[in-house]
Structure formats: C-alpha cells, structure tokens
C-alpha cells in the first residue's frame, strides 16, 4: 500500500496486477461543505455496513477527518471507533507530491481496497472543487451532504453540486432550517425535471440552462433525505437510497450507460496522467526552459506546439 501511495518504482505494475481481483466493490462518494457532518455520517455508515457483514474500506480525502487526525498514515491503517474491527480499512490521503492529484490517489487506493475484498468503499471528500468532481466520477454513487444554515448551501448547488449528486443528505435535521433546505433542493430538482421533460419533448429547452440534468443520469431522480447523523437518524434510509441507486446502475439501460461512461472517463483520466508524466520525464529541462520563456512573454501556444513536436520525435 505504501509503495502505491508513494508511487514507488513499479507501482503501476502492482496496480495492474490487482485489476483482475478488483471491480466488485461498491464505491460511494460522500461530499459536501466542511462541517456538514460527512465524517460523522461515514462513521455511522461503517456501523451499518458492518451490521450487514460487509467488509468496509474508507478513503478520507478530508485532511481534517477525525479518523485521520490529519496524519499521513503511510503503511499503517489507523482506526478509531473501529479499531478492533478487522473488517474495516481506513486510509487518509494527501495530495502532496502526487502528480494527477487527489482523484488519482483515491482511484489507486480504491483499487487496492477493492482487490483486498472490500464490499463497500466510502470516499469522503471536502468541498466542491475539481477534485470532488473527479472523485464523484470515480464513485458509483455520490452522496452530497448539506447542513441547514450553512449560508453557502445555495452557493454550493450553483457550483455544480446538483450535477454530481445521486442522493442528497440534509444533515443536522435537529437544527432549524432543515425543512427549508429540503424544500430548496426539491424545488431545484423539480425545475430540473421540468426542463428535462421539455427537452425530451423536443421543445429545445436544453439551451436555456446548459446544465446536466439533476443526478447526472436520465432515469434517476436524486432523493432528498433528512438526517441527524450524530444520532444515527436517517442513516438506514440513506443506506437504502444508495442501494437503490446501485440497483438503478446495474439493472437499467440508463444506469448501465452511466457506468460505462464512468469507465471511459477513467481511461481518459488515466491516459492524460500517464501522458503528462511521460512527457515530463522525456522533456524535463526543455519543459523548464519553455516555462521560463513563457514567463518572459512568449506565446504559450507556440511553445506548447514546439514541445509536442519534440515529444513526437522522441
């Protein structure tokens, strides 16, 4: 595991060796604004999955997650509440020094956990940046956790969260405002439904809001669930909603098409990363020289073209 974390020489070969053993795990992304209760929810989901006798992997991309303590764990697998449970594997990730960033690290670790026999892998990420969108592509089901009164809920939705959510979890329902958040979300989903209906009816509404349909998949409407993760309330329902989405992916044409798209996207991502890695290795000093010339005002397009020509010669 550490060799893969550190991208030790030959780690790609190790990952490749794992491929025949991987592909059975169900990957669930848990994302949303900091403090919404993602880690709390992950803890409860671990319990729930363990009650079903499932082997659980957790990948914590949130550096502040309590089960990591912010530490980079290297070879060690640290667990807190589940320390005595040999069927729970928790890894924390850091982006530092990783070409291709978090999404790649998460994908690599997910493959290891998958090959290791984890039935379910929970991936916690924080925020709504590019990494989160990438990780959403990696997960089979993406749960977006929101908490009322965050003030930035609507902002988060605007930032594209609606597109990646397969299930919405409105957490901290013990606080005021949860119902309003649920209503807001339902309203947005309703609007999105109406747009899709119009689009499928050939009214060309697609251009009006050039966004993906909610849930990113035709045929699936993301449920909006209320939770009090801290007390475990609503967690069973959330687990059931995830299972429903999993069944949708496996058993419907639209779902299978979405799965296939995820796999193609993974190829595109992997190839891009290997390409950049290979190019950096091959061009090394020339790349640095070009960067300096760009810094002095030379045209980056011209410089890039020249670099590409060099690469193709090599």
The contact set with Mg ion (CB under 5 A) reads 38-39, 62, 65
Out of 5, 18, 31, 38, which residue is the one contacting ligand GDP (CB under 6 A)? Answer: 38
Least separation in angstroms between CB 38 and Mg ion? 5
230 binding partner (options ligand GDP, Mg ion, none; Cβ < 5 to 8 Å by kind): ligand GDP
End-to-end CA distance of the chain: 33
Bridge partners for 147 per DSSP? none
- 244 touches 257 (CB < 8 A): no
Asked if residues 170 and 228 have their Cβ atoms less than 8 Å apart, the reply is: no
In angstroms, what is the minimal distance from the CB of 65 to Mg ion?
A: 4
* Sole window of 157-165, 224-232, 255-263, 289-297 interacting with ligand GDP (rule: CB under 6 A): 224-232
CB 93 within 8 A of CB 32: no
Q: Which of residues 63-122 bind ligand GDP (CB under 6 A)?
A: none
Taking the complex as a whole, the smallest distance from the CB of residue 285 to ligand GDP amounts, in Å, to 43
Q: Number of residues in contact with ligand GDP, rule: CB under 6 A?
A: 15
Nearer to ligand GDP (CB atom), residue 228 or residue 311: 228
Min. distance of Cβ 59 from Mg ion in angstroms?
Answer: 12
Identify any residues that bridge with 120 across adjacent strands, giving them in sequence order: 26, 56
Q: Which phi and psi (to 5°) does residue 90 adopt?
A: -120, 130
Compute the distance between CA of residue 131 and CA of residue 102 in angstroms, rounded to an integer: 6
The interface with ligand GDP within residues 161-200 (CB under 6 A) comprises 171-172, 174-175
Chain-centroid distance, C-alpha 51: 25
Q: What is the DSSP letter of 25?
A: P
Residues lying near ligand GDP in the complex (CB under 6 A)? 34-40, 62, 171-172, 174-175, 228-230
């Amino acid at each position: 595991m550490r060799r893969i974390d550190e991208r030790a020489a030959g780690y790609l070969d190790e990952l490749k060796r794992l491929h025949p053993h991987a592909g059975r795990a169900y990957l669930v992304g848990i994302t949303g604004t900091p403090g919404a209760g993602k880690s709390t929810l992950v803890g409860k989901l671990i319990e729930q999955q363990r009650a079903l006798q499932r082997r659980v992997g957790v990948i914590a991309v949130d550096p502040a997650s309590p089960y990591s303590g912010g530490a980079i764990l290297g070879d060690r697998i640290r667990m807190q509440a589940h320390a005595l449970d040999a069927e729970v594997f928790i890894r924390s990730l850091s982006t530092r020094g990783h070409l291709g960033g978090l999404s790649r690290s998460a994908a690599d670790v997910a493959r290891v956990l998958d090959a290791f026999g984890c039935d379910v892998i929970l991936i916690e990420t924080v925020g709504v940046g590019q990494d989160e969108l990438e990780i959403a592509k990696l997960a089979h089901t993406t749960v977006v956790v929101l908490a009322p009164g965050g003030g930035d809920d609507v902002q988060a939705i605007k930032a594209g969260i609606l597109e990646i959510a397969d299930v919405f979890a409105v957490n901290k329902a013990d606080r005021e405002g949860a119902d309003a958040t649920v209503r807001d979300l339902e309203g947005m989903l309703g609007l999105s439904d109406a747009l899709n209906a119009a689009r499928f009816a050939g009214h060309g509404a697609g251009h009006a809001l050039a966004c993906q349909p909610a849930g990113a998949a035709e045929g699936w409407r993301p449920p909006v669930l209320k939770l009090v993760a801290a007390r475990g309330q609503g967690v069973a329902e959330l687990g059931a909603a995830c299972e429903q989405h999993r069944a949708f992916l496996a058993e419907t044409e639209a779902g299978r098409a979405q799965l296939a798209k995820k796999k193609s996207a993974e190829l595109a991502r992997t190839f891009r990363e290997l390409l950049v890695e290979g190019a950096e290795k091959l061009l090394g000093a020339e790349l640095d020289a070009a960067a300096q010339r760009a810094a002095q005002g030379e045209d980056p397009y011209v410089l890039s073209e020249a670099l590409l020509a060099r690469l193709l010669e090599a």
